[in-house]
A and B are shown apart, each in its own frame.
Chain A
Amino acid sequence: MLDQTVTSGAAAPEPETGTGSRGPRARGAGPSRRGRQVRRREGLAGGLFLGPWLLGLLLLTLGPMLASLYLSFTDYNLFTAPEWVGLDNYRRMFDDERYLTSVRVTMGFVVLATPLKLALALGVAMLLARPRRTQGFYRSAFYAPSLIGASVSIAITWRALFSDDALLDRALQWLGLPAGGWVGDPSRALIVLVLLSVWQFGAPMVIFMAGLQQVPQELYEAAEVDGAGWWRKFAHITLPMLSPVIFFNLLLETIHAFQVFTSAFVVSSPNPGSPADATLVYTLYLYLRGFADFRMGYASAMAWTLLVAIALVTLLLFRTSRFWVHYADGGDR
């Protein structure tokens, strides 16, 4: 997932790196016959290479998406044919107390998990940016949780860590702090999920590290000559120069946080959302409505509402980015 998105970000059109099919045209005076042939053959090959992905997109993504858009306007229980109900599903959400709970829980999760994860990722990336012999080891070690973190076994382990008399409880007791496992406590269960998400900071960390290497060293040297300390260099060089990467990570992590599912599902098993709906994140409730209550129409409406909500949040972030993100190529302006 991440590799895809990063590559698609990097592969975006950039005038100064344009090569490939544009080559022949640049070389000669107008397209020759040979050039056209090459281009057609390249086009065919390109089409063939694109084919499987395009097919997958149409059959596995676009098709189901359109189907779910249609279903969101129907009453559909999986067994009998969908029945058109117009906007009823969308209207009903706002009277559904559990729906509102799930919105609250998800907002709490996004607001807590995203900034914490990014801050940790940036901090560790800066520590690891300086070349040293053990760098490779540390990079792998910090990245590892991102690879295994989404797995069910980790979520089960996590649940065990935060139970009564487990690691965290013992540590808190030893420090004389209020004890008791967090998994069964409605006021603290969400923190368990937030920590599990923050722990998987490896992906944004790697992107931050790549970004840090792009910051021209001359800027730091010049600042040092002018007598700037660590903080000034960080606030006035690192952060502004890194802002496109921070923005990129912020967007992706926010979107991912809105879609959190597996960890909530496993940590609260066998009663999804427990204790007392404290971990009932949006997608978990969506899933329950669809697959436990067999209300696919309502669940589809929830999915589309989430898409629109994420799109709005993304738009909002883009709007604010004008004020704090500095693109080296001047952005679209």
Chain B
Amino acid sequence: MFMLRRVTRRGVAAAAVVAMTATLVAACGDDSGSGSDGKITLRYSWWGPAERAEIMNKAIARFEQQNPNIKITPNFSDYAPYWQKLATETAGGGAPDVMQMDYTYLSEYANRGVLLDLASQVDKNIQIKELLPGLQDVGVIDGKRYGITVSGNTFALIYDPAAFEKAGVTVPDAWTWKEYQDAAAKVGKAVKDDKMWGATDYTQITGILETWLRQQNKELISADGKLVVSKEDLKAFWEHGQRMRDLGAIVPQSKVAQVAPKSAPGADLVASAVGIDTYLTRYAGETKRTFAIAPMPSDDPNNLGLIFRPGMLLCASSKTKNPDAAAKLINFMINDAEVGKMFGGNRGLPASTIQREAALPVLSPQDQAVLEYENGISDQLKPAPLPPAGVGPVDAAFLRIGEELNYGKTTIDKAVDQFFTEAEQALSAS
């Protein structure tokens, strides 16, 4: 099988050189053109789970039926690989005609001329009047409209009523962070035998830090992309997390790491989690336990610090040869009632009132609970500020350093310095 005669010095050297160069070979993206038989071909990329792809294919079929001259080439991947792929495709000049966009990355792509200004398409091929008021202007940067919002969400406290009942904890209409922490610790003790903890470690999520800061009328990052939080405030936030860990209320990171990609609530590890409200649906899909929504803790009951976050946006490529067709597709995905019914809460709660009404009868009980929650605090929801470029790596650094704190691998002082170094570098580079 192997033609190994005698190994010589030179032979070994040659093999070593071949083996070494393997690292230096980079990957290349591919490019595909537009249609040739008079039909327009649009490439459409999105991220999401397999169920979303199934629904998306049905929606695309409906679009192609209504627009017989347009053919859609769909392309979907998971969230993390989606960005790697999009970045390489874009670098090669082959961004998809229509792409799903996260608010975090909008500036990154818009500032670099990748995205089409859709302003001239509004009222022509795209209707935005039907979007919820708080979400209408999302996607506009310096007067140019780079994206249209598909759905909206906000932060909430999601909890397992059975576990809270077991601990004898009743959820009030409003509570402070300290009250929530103590409740989570009490619940944690009650569910210990079920190998569960009271709460997830929310001090790893920048969104929660921002909420906590906003509750005190402070900011993490300014609109022009400067890190404006003070070291003292960040330290206070992580000390607040440490208090909760000391109470034994927070699940250890080693447990969370092992159940990934399942969520900690979905893997029956915790009885409550502070996070995005529409995750309620995700958790419910992962476990048999039921979840409900509790009010967001805040030390100022009149300021929950919440914003109406765009769940995802749709954008068109600045290089698309068919801007009208791309705009039509975006409008269809956002405003078509039938599409709203198909997706229900799969993309989050629809931003367009047409789709919201259409989806209402088919919404799951979880989605309905989220809807009720959002309606109940709608007067508290502020419009979401535009994340400046470089925020993606900042989120990732905060998550990683927060994890190290949870593992006890670093001290709060060191963690604060490390985060400042990395965040300032990421923001200045962009």
Binding site for B on A (CB under 8 A): 1, 3-14, 17, 60-61, 64-65, 67-68, 75, 77-80, 97, 163-164, 180-181, 183-186, 206-207, 210-211, 214, 244-245, 247-248, 251-252, 255-256, 259, 269-271, 273-277, 283, 291-295, 303-304, 306-307, 310-311, 314, 318, 321, 327-329, 331-332
Expressed in whole angstroms, the Cα–Cα distance for A311 and B16 within the complex equals: 9
CB <8 Å contact, A65 and B13:
no
Contacts of A7 in B (CB 8 A): 3
Expressed in whole angstroms, the Cα–Cα distance for A219 and B9 within the complex equals: 23
Expressed in whole angstroms, the Cα–Cα distance for A53 and B326 within the complex equals: 42
B409 within 8 A of A: yes
Expressed in whole angstroms, the Cα–Cα distance for A303 and B88 within the complex equals: 18
Contacts of A75 in B (CB 8 A): 429
Residue in contact with A184 in the complex, picked from B26, B87, B257, B396, CB distance below 8 Å: B257
In the complex formed, the residue of B with least CB distance to A139 is B1
CB <8 Å contact, B23 and A184:
no
A-B pairs with CB below 8 Å: how many?
191
The smallest C-beta distance from B13 to any residue of chain A, in angstroms, reads 7
Contacts of A271 in B (CB 8 A): 257, 260, 399-400, 403
A and B contact pairs by CB, cutoff 8 A, 7 listed:
A14-B8, A64-B24, A77-B112, A245-B4, A255-B19, A255-B20, A327-B7
Contacts of B255 in A (CB 8 A): 164, 184
The smallest C-beta distance from A262 to any residue of chain B, in angstroms, reads 13
Expressed in whole angstroms, the Cα–Cα distance for A274 and B407 within the complex equals: 11
CB <8 Å contact, A306 and B23:
yes
Residue in contact with B4 in the complex, picked from A1, A6, A67, CB distance below 8 Å: A6
CB <8 Å contact, B16 and A274:
no
Expressed in whole angstroms, the Cα–Cα distance for A318 and B18 within the complex equals: 16
Residue in contact with A78 in the complex, picked from B2, B23, B87, B258, CB distance below 8 Å: B87
Contacts of A186 in B (CB 8 A): 407, 409
Leading 10 A-B pairs by shortest Cβ distance: A184-B254, A12-B11, A79-B112, A184-B257, A9-B11, A78-B91, A244-B7, A5-B15, A210-B4, A184-B258
In the complex formed, the residue of A with least CB distance to B20 is A310
In the complex formed, the residue of A with least CB distance to B5 is A10
CB <8 Å contact, A68 and B26:
yes
Expressed in whole angstroms, the Cα–Cα distance for A306 and B24 within the complex equals: 9
B84 within 8 A of A: yes
The smallest C-beta distance from B186 to any residue of chain A, in angstroms, reads 25
Binding site for A on B (CB under 8 A): 1-16, 18-26, 28, 80, 83-84, 87-88, 90-91, 108-109, 112-114, 252-258, 260-261, 392-393, 396, 399-400, 403-404, 407, 409, 418, 421, 426, 429-430
Contacts of A68 in B (CB 8 A): 24, 26
Contacts of B23 in A (CB 8 A): 259, 283, 303, 306-307, 310
Contacts of A185 in B (CB 8 A): 254
The smallest C-beta distance from B68 to any residue of chain A, in angstroms, reads 36
Contacts of B8 in A (CB 8 A): 9, 12, 14, 244, 327, 329, 331
CB <8 Å contact, A163 and B258:
yes
Residue in contact with B15 in the complex, picked from A8, A64, A292, CB distance below 8 Å: A8
Residue in contact with A79 in the complex, picked from B20, B25, B91, CB distance below 8 Å: B91
CB <8 Å contact, A79 and B15:
no
CB <8 Å contact, A331 and B9:
yes
Expressed in whole angstroms, the Cα–Cα distance for A323 and B101 within the complex equals: 60
**New A-B pairs, 13, CB < 8 Å, besides A276-B403, A291-B88, A327-B7:** A7-B3, A9-B8, A9-B11, A9-B15, A64-B24, A64-B25, A186-B409, A255-B16, A269-B261, A277-B404, A318-B13, A327-B9, A331-B8
The smallest C-beta distance from A152 to any residue of chain B, in angstroms, reads 12
| With A6-B3, A10-B11 as contacts: A275 and B254 at CB distance below 8 Å | yes
Contacts of A13 in B (CB 8 A): 10
CB <8 Å contact, B403 and A274:
yes
Residue in contact with B404 in the complex, picked from A4, A245, A276, A329, CB distance below 8 Å: A276
Expressed in whole angstroms, the Cα–Cα distance for A102 and B5 within the complex equals: 39
The smallest C-beta distance from A56 to any residue of chain B, in angstroms, reads 10
CB <8 Å contact, A295 and B15:
no
CB <8 Å contact, A9 and B26:
no
Contacts of B396 in A (CB 8 A): 292
CB <8 Å contact, B80 and A270:
yes
Residue in contact with A206 in the complex, picked from B1, B393, B404, CB distance below 8 Å: B1
The smallest C-beta distance from A173 to any residue of chain B, in angstroms, reads 14
CB <8 Å contact, A251 and B400:
no
The smallest C-beta distance from A59 to any residue of chain B, in angstroms, reads 10
CB <8 Å contact, B5 and A275:
no
| With A252-B15, A269-B261, A291-B87 as contacts: A17 and B24 at CB distance below 8 Å | no
